[in-house]
Amino acid sequence: MTNDVIATDHPLTTSQQETLAALLDTLLPASDDGTMPSAQAVDLIGYLTEKNAEFIPVLVEAIGHFDDGFAGLSLSDRYPVVEAFSKAQAELFDELLFHTYDCYYQDDRVLEGIGMAAGPPFPTGNTIEAGDLSLLDPVMQTSRTYRKYDQ
Amino acid sequence: MAGASDNDPVDVLIIGAGASGAAVAWSLAETRMRIVCFEQGDWTNPSEYPSTRKDWESQQFGPYHINPNVRGLETDYPINNDESPINVVNFNGVGGGTILYAAHFPRLHPSDFRVKTLDGVADDWPINYERLEPYFSKNDRMMGVSGLAGDPMYPPKQPPLPPIPLGLVGETIARGYNKLGWHWWPSDSAIITRPYEGRDQCLNLGPCMSGCSQGAKSSVDITYWPEALRSGVEIRTRCRVREITLNRQGMADGVVYYDEEGTERHQKAEVVVMACNGVGTPRILLNSESAQFPDGLANRSGLVGKNLMFHPVGFVQGIFEERLDSHKGPAGCCILSKEFYETDRSRGFVRGYNMQITRGTGPLATALQGYTSGTIPWGPEHHEAFQKRFDHVASIGILCEDLPEEHNTVTLDPNLVDSDGIPAPKINYRLSENSEKMLAHGLARAEDVMEAAGATEISSSGVLEDAGWHLLGTARMGDDPKTSVVNSWGRSHDVKNLFIVDGSIFVTAGGLNPTSTIQALALYIADTMKKNLANLFD
């Protein structure tokens, strides 16, 4: 079997998957402290298949702009390659970035990493303080009033 | 021409099931007349709102986008905004704009009804704050409004529920206002902070502007409409009105509309009430041409579709070193300031603006805005830059009073049509010099507040493009038929059984969110109709 044969229902070849993983890891690498995962650790293809399948052929086109050696480069060597791609193919890059961010910032590990609760907002919700209404004292101590007029 | 088969005649036909249509339907229901409301959209299901989904943020870029041209649902109609720096935003469905609104719920001020007398600009309203006050209060109770009594910038009023939490955002910005000695107050918000009338209280989810899954935001599909339906009012969804028809006596006798299958039909009615907002209402009136009204129905004044007023909006964003938990709590409601609401000619403009403090965005919007502005890069620096901004932000919206100008119009587009072939509205709008000066002043003062509050980074933007929420003035009220479309209680000067109850009838716009005033007007008009039932058409 070669890397160009699709042997599963995965929409990308093995080679394309490797390029995509490197690309995603360049866009959003893991944080140094390990709190934030790399974007290659979130299931972009699964997300697109379920929510935005029409973008997958566009993604394949984007991957096609990177040669086979890209996946083997270090992060610091991949960065200028992606930067050049972002300028040469600005519209395509922006679309890729939107979907990457969209998928990334709904992953439970990511949400917890940035201090949010995992999952959708409802029904968990949030608790916030009522706040100190004595801050209004200076407002109430002024002679300010609404503008009046003769009836 | 009328369509396939006529329906049974109704006593009152209301067009539009949004904020004003719901209020007028509920109020008229006690008359036991046969009342039907036509709504071009559907009911929405709160359990399907974006906040129940992990992809809640990206839903706001698609099916829950505030701009109907982007949203593009079958129930939407296109709007030509090419000749306007501000795009019309709306929602078409039971609840109308209240489904997606932020629920900021201030009333117009007493002075807003007397701008000609006080400042020598535009016109006075034929009614005043005192006339509307009982309806403001009734509407606050019906909707479920949270707020704090005692604001010196208003006559006494008592919101039925305690204010929404200030949170760290509100406290931080409030301290900035206090340093400057400027007015601020907790916002009146149509969001319930305690269980109320069978609804549970706000959970501080955040994304109010894509529908409230909790049902704490007071959209009229869960406030007025359930009560109106129990009282016998009927809503027919997916009924899109094309035009109002007249009898030989020049009275409205019904409407031509398209049903869900796109079949043209005619509905007879004794009274027609328009509640389609400041764009939808002139669109239908202008499309209702006849030999008696060659320039559009009820348009002998020539003012239908003219004097369109938005509220030009700008935003100032501050980044703070300390975490403000910005994503928690109602996104659009926190505190407000009326420090610059009234005219001070030394500022170089007349009238004024509301300063509206809003909370932060979710993580996707934060990352995308950061990318666009160059403040949060992709790549190895992303996480650090993101963490410095996400949940560390507060914003101040500047909502400027827009004065009526006849060249700002809603007309019928000669080419663009909706899915039923009805001409789409075309907007021609220019920002006045007065509004430009006002907005610049507001942005500068909001930067002062951010600085006083301790922001480490401040940025301004405006006028915002997708901010045409408030659609006002296109069928103004007045006592003189030559200079107004409806009288002081919403009845057309030209067609005695045609009423308008939406934002079209505003004479001036004030400098704040209009839903509270729109609904108070609708209740007042309904009450006046009930008091005059015996001679309603005299």
Q: By C-alpha distance, which of B397, B395, B400 is closest to B470? A: B400
* DSSP code for B44: -
Query: Averaged over B163-179, what is the pLDDT?
Result: 98
Residue in B117, B153, B165 nearest the CB of A149: B117
Give the span between the Cα atoms of B214 and B49, in whole angstroms.
10
pLDDT tens digits for range A5-30:
555 678 899 999 999 999 999 999 99
Is A147 in Cβ contact with B325 (below 8 Å)?
Answer: no
Q: Is any Cβ of chain A less than 8 angstroms from the Cβ of B204?
A: yes
Average pLDDT, chain A: 93
Q: Beta strands B335-337 and B498-500: pairing type?
A: unpaired
Q: How many CB atoms lie within 10 A of CB B444?
A: 12
Closest CA to B238 of B261, B262, B260: B260
Per-residue pLDDT at B318 exceeds 70: yes
Taking 90 as the threshold, does the pLDDT of residue B42 lie above it?
Answer: yes
Residue B85 confidence (pLDDT) above 60: yes
Q: What is the pLDDT of residue A106?
A: 96
Contact A51 B185 (CB under 8 A): no
Q: Contact at 8 Å (CB) between B356 and B187?
A: yes
Residue window 143-162, chain B: list those with CB within 8 Å of chain A: 148, 150, 152-155
What is the pLDDT, as a whole number, of residue B1?
40
Residue B266 CA to its chain's centroid (Å): 29
Q: What is the domain partition of chain B in residue ranges?
A: 10-163+189-309+410-426+469-532
Across the interface, of A27, A35, A130, the residue whose CB is closest to B378 is: A27
The side-by-side arrangement of strands in the sheet containing B335-337 is B185-186, B335-337, B353-358, B393-400, B313-319, B457-462
Averaged over B463-467, what is the pLDDT? Answer: 96
> Is some CB atom of chain A closer than 8 A to the CB atom of B365?
no
Tens digits of residue pLDDT in B487-500: 999 999 999 999 99
Q: How confident is the model at residue A3 (pLDDT cuts 50, 70, 90)?
A: low
Q: Are the beta carbons of B132 and B520 closer than 8 angstroms?
A: yes
Q: How confident is the model at residue B468 (pLDDT cuts 50, 70, 90)?
A: very high
- Give the mean model confidence (pLDDT) for residues B66-70: 98
- Each residue's pLDDT tens digit, B336-376: 999 999 999 999 999 999 999 999 999 999 999 999 999 99
Percent of chain A with pLDDT over 70: 93
What's the N-to-C CA distance of chain A in angstroms?
A: 89
CB pairs below 8 Å between A and B: how many?
Answer: 162
Query: Residue B30 is encoded by which pair of tokens?
Result: 């006690």
β-bridge mates for residue B317, sequence order: B395, B459
Note the pLDDT tens digit of each residue in A86-106.
Answer: 999 999 999 999 999 999 999
Residue B111 has its nearest CB partner, among A26, A144, A147, at A147
Q: CA separation (Å) from B488 to B122, B301, B529?
A: 17, 15, 12
Is pLDDT of B4 > 70?
no
Find all residues with CB under 8 Å of A91, minimum gap 6, and list them: none
Look at A128 and B186 and tell me if their CB atoms are within 8 Å: no
Chain B residues with beta carbon closer than 8 angstroms to that of A28: 378-379, 382-383
On average, the pLDDT of chain B sits at 97
pLDDT over 90 (residue B7) = no
Q: Write out residues 452-511 of B within 8 Å (CB-CB) of A.
A: none
Q: Is B10-163+189-309+410-426+469-532 in CATH node 3.40.140.10?
A: no
Nearest CB to A105 within list B183, B185, B367: B367
Q: What does the pLDDT look like over A34-85, one tens digit per residue?
A: 999 999 999 999 999 999 999 999 999 999 999 989 999 999 999 999 999 9
pLDDT of A149: 80
Q: How far apart are CA A58 and CA B522, in angstroms?
A: 50
What count of other Cβ atoms lies within 10 Å of the Cβ of residue B407? 11
Closest-CA residue in chain A for B179? A138
Give phi and psi for B520, each to the nearest 5.
Answer: -60, -40
Q: Are A77 and A83 in contact (CB under 8 A)?
A: no
Per-residue pLDDT, A7: 55
From B199's Cα to the closest Cα of chain A, the distance in A is 15
Are B152 and A136 inside 8 Å of each other by CB? no
How many residues in chain B? Answer: 538
Cα–Cα distance for residue pair B212/B218, rounded to 1 Å = 9
Give the model confidence (pLDDT) of B210-232 as tens digits: 999 999 999 999 999 999 999 99
Instruction: Name the token pair of B505.
Output: 């009838």
* pTM of the shown model: 0.96
pLDDT grade, residue B2 (50/70/90)?
very low
Q: Residue type for B304, please? A: V
**Does any CB of chain A come closer than 8 Å to the CB of residue B292?**
no
Answer yes or no: is pLDDT of B161 > 80.
yes
Selected for mutation to probe chain A from B54, B116, B132 (highest A CB count within 10 Å) is B54
ipTM value? 0.93
Q: Residue B110 and residue A101: Cβ atoms within 8 Å?
A: no
The pLDDT value recorded for residue A68 is 87
CA distances from B220 to B20, B198, B231, B268, B329 (A): 9, 14, 15, 26, 21
- Which chain A residues are within 8 Å of B371, Cβ to Cβ? 97, 101
The reply to whether residue B110 touches residue A147, judged by beta carbons under 8 angstroms, is yes
- pLDDT for A10: 81
Residues of chain B with pLDDT > 70, as a percent, come to 99
Helix (H, G, I), strand (E, B) or coil at B358: strand
